Amino acid sequence: MDYETSPTMKFENAGDAVNDEEKSEKSSASDGSEGFVKVDQELEEPEEPNSLKESLSKVEIVEPSAPFVSEVEPETKSELPLIENLDPRVKDLLYWRDIKVSGVVFGLTLLVLLSLCCFSVVSVISYLTLSLLTVTVAFRLYKLVLQTLNGTQQPNPFQSLLDMEVTLSKDQIHKYADVILDHLNCTLVCTRDLVLVKNMVASLKFAVFMWLLTYIGCCFNGLTLLILGVIAAFVLPPIYEKYQVPIDNHYNLVAQKFAQVANAVRSKIPGAKPKTQ
C-alpha cells in the first residue's frame, strides 16, 4: 500500500534539511574563522633570527665548582722566622733542596763538632786535613795509573773544583763586615739597656732568662748546645715546612697563654701597663 506524505510533512522535512545546511555552513564558517585566527596569531608572533637562535643553542650553562672569592687570600709563609733573612744558598742547605749537598755539609759539620768533644781543636783539624789529603791523593794516583795503562792523556779529575772561585772580593768582605758590625752594635746597645735597667720589664725578663741558662749550663756545655743547634737547624725547617698549619695553631695558643700571664705580671708591677692585643 502506498502512503502519500502530506504537504505539511514535506515542508517540515524541507525545513529540517535547510536547518541542517545552515548548521553545517555555520560550523564550517566557524572552523574557517578559527583557522584564520590561528594563522593570524602565528603571523603576529615575532620570529627570532636564525643567528640568535644558533648562538643561544651554543651557549652552555656551566655551574661553578667552587664559590667565587672576591678577596685575595694572603700568602702564608712557609719559612721559620729565624731563617727568613739568611742567604738563599744557606736556605737551600737547611731545607734540603739538594739532598746530596745538604747531607755532606750536615755530616761533616756534625763530625767536626763530635770530634771536638773528644779531641783538641788542633788534633781535629790535623786529622781532617790528613783524611782529605789521603782521599784526593789516592784518587789522583788511580787516575794516573789508568792513563798510563790506556796510553791516554786526561786533565786533572779535580779541574772543575780548581776552576771554582773561592776567593772573597773586597765588596763581599765589606758587605759581610757591615752586617756583622750592625748585629754587634745592636747587641751591645741592648745589653747596656738591659743591664742598666732602662726598662724594668725587659730587665726582669732578661734576669729570668739568665737564671734559666744557669740550669741549662749545669746539664750541657757550649759545645753540646752547638751540636744541638746544628741538628735543629737541619731538622726543624723541613718539618716546619711540612706541618706548618698545626705547628702555627699550637704556637698561637701558647703565645696567647704567655701573653695573658705577661699581662697579669705587668698589672702587678707599679708603673707597667699591660699590653693591649
Specify the length of the chain in residues.
277
Query: In which residue are the cell numbers 783538641 written?
Result: 120
| 87 pLDDT above the threshold of 60 | yes
**In the predicted model, what is the mean pLDDT of the chain?**
76
| 102 pLDDT above the threshold of 60 | yes
Residue 13 belongs to some domain of the structure = no
Note the pLDDT of residue 20.
Answer: 52
pLDDT band at 45 (very low <50, low <70, confident <90, very high): very low
Q: How many CA atoms lie within 13 A of 60 on its CB side?
A: 3
Contact in structure between 90 and 234 (CB atoms under 8 Å): no
Note the pLDDT of residue 69.
Answer: 43
CB proximity list for 114: less than 8 A, separation 6 or greater: 227
More confident residue, 56 or 190: 190
Residue 54 belongs to some domain of the structure = no
pLDDT band at 66 (very low <50, low <70, confident <90, very high): very low
Residue 77 belongs to some domain of the structure = no
More confident residue, 251 or 47: 251
- What number of H helices and E strands is found in the chain? 10, 0
Number of domains the chain contains:
1
Residue 83 belongs to some domain of the structure = no
Q: What percent of the chain has pLDDT over 70?
A: 66
Residue 24 belongs to some domain of the structure = no
pLDDT band at 81 (very low <50, low <70, confident <90, very high): low
Note the pLDDT of residue 265.
Answer: 79
Per-residue pLDDT tens over the stretch 189-248: 999 999 998 988 899 989 999 999 898 888 888 888 899 999 998 998 889 888 888 888
The pLDDT of 88-108, averaged and rounded, is: 88
Note the pLDDT of residue 41.
Answer: 47
Query: Buried b vs exposed e over 94-112: b needs ≥16 C-beta within 10 Å?
Result: bbbeeeeebeebbeebeee
Per-residue pLDDT tens over the stretch 147-171: 888 888 888 888 888 888 888 888 8
Residue 160 belongs to some domain of the structure = no
Residue 203 belongs to some domain of the structure = yes
Note the pLDDT of residue 82.
Answer: 67
Report the C-alpha dihedral over residues 9, 11, 17, 21, rounded to 10 degrees: -160
More confident residue, 4 or 50: 50
Note the pLDDT of residue 158.
Answer: 87
Note the pLDDT of residue 201.
Answer: 86
The conformation of residue 83, written as its DSSP 8-state character, comes to: G
Residue 27 belongs to some domain of the structure = no
| 52 pLDDT above the threshold of 90 | no
Question: Domain residues for 212?
Answer: 88-151+168-253
More confident residue, 112 or 1: 112
